[in-house]
Amino acid sequence: MKRNFGGVLNDSWKEYKANFWTFFKIIFFLYFMPIMIFTLLNFLSLFYFFGDLNILTSPDYGKIMINNSYNMPFISYILFLIPLYIILGLVYLIMSLSAIYCSINSNKKLSFSASLAGGKKHYWNYLKYNLVILGLIILFILIIFVVFLPFTLLGIIGLIIGVLLMIFLTIAFIILMIKFGISWMFAPYLIVEQNKKAIDSLKTSYHIVKGKWWGLFGYVILLILIFFSIALVVGLIQLMISFILALPYISLDFSAFLTGNLKVPLTITIIQQIIGPILNFLINIIAIPILALFIKNLYFDIKKIS
């Protein structure tokens, strides 16, 4: 690598500040607004299918949903949410593509509309790339279960062997995900910069990373640790806000709080659930652009060496 971790991160930070408002609009309109609309629709669908939002305030909310999993309201609720999740995922693809396009052209200081238009040009190749990754993940999970299931028919010894084999395959799966996650990290940039097809982008990225894997792995781990520290602090802030909101009700029934059976008013529960996306937005307004710029800078550094 031409530059050390600090040099790459410092340049990424400078480019982030120079293009802040474009990145802000990308994350706001293509991440925050969709998730807030989804949250609102989730509340409305709970009320429509169950007739009462107060189930959200129950400490046994999870158990209630599981116990009603075979009832028509629950099934209708899930069927309503599935297309919303798919739409949300497709919008997120546009968001990440726009961020990548903006990062590749960060010296031009593109507008939000130009970044969005640039990202949309490569949408289908990027979608295919994500479907290939998703397909490989699903295939490996199916292999794990197909290997495990016959052992369940062989009694307790077979079950123990099956569980051990499943643990081994799961560890192997995680290792492979890390291995190819790094090897394929430049594929989206090849799709945007060189207009490569999904499979070609994966192959080219693999060859670019070959011989440099451990160095890139170290850089990515350091960046993840920084983001994890930020997320931990924000998570603690969210916990503190939720605690402060619930404090008047905790003081009324401290034993219920200790046992996890505290029930708070619906308005407090809704506010607590809205705080999460807001704080996530504050994290992602930094994390997503910095990650896109950081990997872009690594990509161009390696291209110069090659």
pLDDT attached to residue 209? 94
pLDDT attached to residue 59? 62
pLDDT band with cut points at 50, 70 and 90 for residue 253? low
pLDDT band with cut points at 50, 70 and 90 for residue 50? confident
CA distance 56 to 286: 31
Statement: residue 240 has pLDDT above 70:
yes
Nearest-5° angle of CA 183, CA 88, CA 267?
Answer: 125
Question: Which letter does DSSP use for residue 69 in this model?
Answer: T
How many structural domains compose the chain?
1
Please compute, for residue 121, the number of CA atoms within 13 A of its CA located in the half-sphere on the CB side.
14
Cβ–Cβ < 8 Å for 39, 277: yes
CA distance 83 to 38: 11
CA distances, 284 to each of 24, 56, 95, 109, 126 (Å): 9, 27, 11, 20, 21
Statement: residue 25 has pLDDT above 70:
yes
Residue 52 falls in which region: left (phi positive, over 0), alpha (psi -120 to 50) or beta? beta
pLDDT attached to residue 63? 65
CA distance 200 to 40: 40
Cβ–Cβ < 8 Å for 230, 283: yes
Nearest-5° angle of CA 286, CA 25, CA 45?
Answer: 95
Q: Average pLDDT for residues 163-174, to the nearest whole number?
A: 90
pLDDT attached to residue 23? 96
Q: Average pLDDT for residues 156-173, to the nearest whole number?
A: 87
- Rounded to the nearest integer, the mean pLDDT of the chain is 87
Cβ–Cβ < 8 Å for 297, 16: no
Cβ–Cβ < 8 Å for 26, 116: yes
Task: Identify which has the larger pLDDT, 260 or 126.
Answer: 126
pLDDT band with cut points at 50, 70 and 90 for residue 210? very high
Statement: residue 263 has pLDDT above 80:
no
Q: Average pLDDT for residues 17-41, to the nearest whole number?
A: 94
Q: Which domain holds residue 277?
A: 5-305
Q: Nearest-CA neighbor of 12 among 98, 93, 96, 99?
A: 99
Burial of residue 239, with CB atoms counted within 10 A of its CB: 0-12 exposed, 13-18 middle, 19 or more buried: exposed
Statement: residue 71 has pLDDT above 90:
no
pLDDT band with cut points at 50, 70 and 90 for residue 58? low
Q: Average pLDDT for residues 171-177, to the nearest whole number?
A: 93
Cβ–Cβ < 8 Å for 2, 259: no
